[in-house]
Structure 1
Amino acid sequence: MNNDLPLARRDIIALRLEQGQGAVSTALALEFGVSEDAIRRDLRALAAAGRCRRVYGGALPLLPVSPASQAVTVRIAEGAERKQALGSAAAALVQKNALVFLDNGSSNLAIVACLPPDFGLTVATNSVHIAAAVLARSDVRLIMVGGTVDAAVGGCVDAQALAQVALLNIDRCFLGACAVSVSGGIAAFDPSDATFKRALLAASIDVAVLVTSDKLETRAPHRVCALGDIGQLVLEHDAPAAIRATLEQAGATLLVAPQLSHPAPTLE
């Protein structure tokens, strides 16, 4: 196929990308009878227009926007059993007498009921919902990181909260994430939330992220860190094998939660 009109050629490439197909520069150059430089110019123009992602040798479709943009009160009611499985796997990472930080997030809330009893644990959190759940456990000490509560985030992510986190030596942090991808790393919707998460990374020895499958290979506007900055990604048992392989190739350490035959206990 030979098409000498760059705009028409770009429209054809853009349509394929919108349909979920990748674009390989060498193959497109052969198909359209033009140079690879011409195809690269097309892909640069499409990327600049926000219609694709440039990768080595071509381009990929844009990642979908993460569904985790809803308020945390909405997310808490979704996928309870799956989040319990993630919480159970995450709790196994906790050591005795540790200072554990549970960042805002409905998946992190599920960790509270799964923490081993009488482990001498101290849990710090900036989440109102998580603090309430920890308070119901007589065997876990609670540190509430305070400030002005952001209703959408479900907790405190302002300057006061940042200052308090800077004074902590966190053994194990479970970082919340709105979106997770190879190209975008860990990302968040709220810029203050992203800044707070970066402060948690700086204050923590070990960091893990619980990821429901609907957040995998999705995007959110504010980058927190690269995948390599995270100790473990805790995935659902049925996370797509292709995505798992891609994450591992990018340097992520994966922990796959087993499927629960019975729901984990919840705190009343």
Structure 2
Amino acid sequence: MTKEIPSARRELIESRLLAGEAVSSTALASEFAVSEDAVRRDLRALAAQGTCRRVYGGAVPIGAGSTPIAARLSEDSEEKRALAKAAMTLISPGSFVFIDNGSTNVLAAEFLPDDADLSVATNSVHAAARLATRQDVPFVLLGGGVDLAIGGCVDGTAIEALSRLNIDLCLLGACAVSAERGASAFDAADAAFKRALVGQSRCKVVLVSNDKLTATAPFTVADLDSIDHIVLSHDAPTSQVAELERAGVKILRAAAPQAN
């Protein structure tokens, strides 16, 4: 019985969040006659699975498309891996490469060539973790406060550190991409960091999964004139690809997954 009560409580909290309600730790603790620590454990678990975003005093629902990085990384799809591999063809030997936050960019950290004399910087703790396990590519992790939903540092401290870098090529994260609006992001601070990253980078590359071609996000990152290459999936929708091509952006198509 003791296992069923926390499960039922968590399911009820989840149902409220999915209905678009914000929740308060204090109010929930009073309602269920449990400690706030117990409620906070529930909210941590729900945030980890992408149901909500924790804020001071409780949690708020996740907006459409703004799933936390921890949940997106669990979706290690063949599409994202193909995009990451394709981007490697754009990196010249001896380059200083920046890996921005984003689940596809994190995968790119695995595919950086180890024989190209690259230097790497990132603000993504997940990309840094994967680079650390390789131990064959030197890298710098930008400091600052870590936004757990985004998966890295995007605050003023990170932007200040970024301003001292001369980046040859950046893998720029984006939540939505279109011919009309360019690259956009769901989070204002994340978008501000990305705009600064565009300004510090000679070549900007965006890895775009198919879902981002139909998404919309409120905060502008860069127009298409500021982006050098967009890497698309082999089966990207024809209409969106045509619009991007008419806008003059350089498009690289990822290879189709090989049949087993």
TM category, shorter: 0.7 to 0.9
Q: Displaced runs of 4+ in structure 1, greater than 2 A?
A: none
Aligned to 1:134: 131
Q: Are residues 1:125 and 2:122 paired?
A: yes
Aligned counterpart, 2:46 = none
Deviation (angstroms), 1:123: 1.2
- What is the Cα deviation at residue 79 of structure 1? 4.6
2:164 aligns with 167
In the other structure, the counterpart of 2:21 is none
Q: Structure 2: which amino acid aligns with 1:125?
A: T
SS in 2 for 1:84: helix
- Return the alpha-carbon distance in structure 2 between the equivalents of residues 156 and 262 of structure 1: 38
Q: What percent of counterpart residues are identical?
A: 46
Match of 2:71 among 70, 74, 86: 74
Shift of 1:138: 2.1
| Map of 1:102 onto structure 2 | 99
Out of 195, 200, 209, the position equivalent to 1:198 is: 195
Q: Is the 8 A contact 2:233 2:253 kept in 1?
A: yes
TM-score (norm. length: structure 2): 0.73
| Residue-pair matches, total | 198
Counterpart AA for 2:193 = F
- Report what 2:6 is aligned to: none
Contact 1:120 1:139 in 2 (8 A): no
1:182 aligns with 2:179: yes
Equivalent residue in structure 1 for 2:251, among 250, 254, 260: 254
Deviations 1:60-79 (A, max 9, x none): xxxxxx95310011111225
> 2 CA distance for matches of 1:70 and 1:258?
26
CA distance in 2, matches of 1:141, 1:256: 28
Match of 1:228 in 2: 225
- Give the corresponding residue for 1:219: 216
Code of the residue aligned with 1:99 in structure 2: it is: F
Instruction: Name the amino acid aligned to 1:255.
Output: L
- Cα-to-partner distance string for 1:173-223 (whole Å, 9 max, x where unaligned): 000000111222100011111010011001001010000000103210101
In 2, the alpha carbon distance for the partners of 1:262 and 1:84 equals 15
Change (3 A) 1:118 1:67: farther
Between the two structures, name the one with larger relative contact order (CA 8 Å, sep ≥ 6): 1
| RMSD (CA atoms) | 1.5
What does residue 143 of structure 1 align with?
140
Shift of 1:171: 0.6
Partner of 2:57: none
Q: What TM-score does the superposition give when structure 1 sets the normalisation length?
A: 0.71
Q: Over alpha carbons, which structure has the higher Rg?
A: 1
Q: CA shift at 1:118, angstroms?
A: 2.1
Q: In 2, distance between residues paired with 1:131 and 1:84? A: 17
Q: Residue 92 of structure 1: SS of its match in structure 2?
A: helix
Which of residues 131, 152, 155 is equivalent to 2:152? 155
Structure 1: gaps spanning 5 or more residues: 1-65, 264-268
Distance apart, 1:108 and its partner CA: 0.4
Question: Secondary structure of 2:184's match?
Answer: strand
| SS at structure 2 position matched to 1:136 | helix
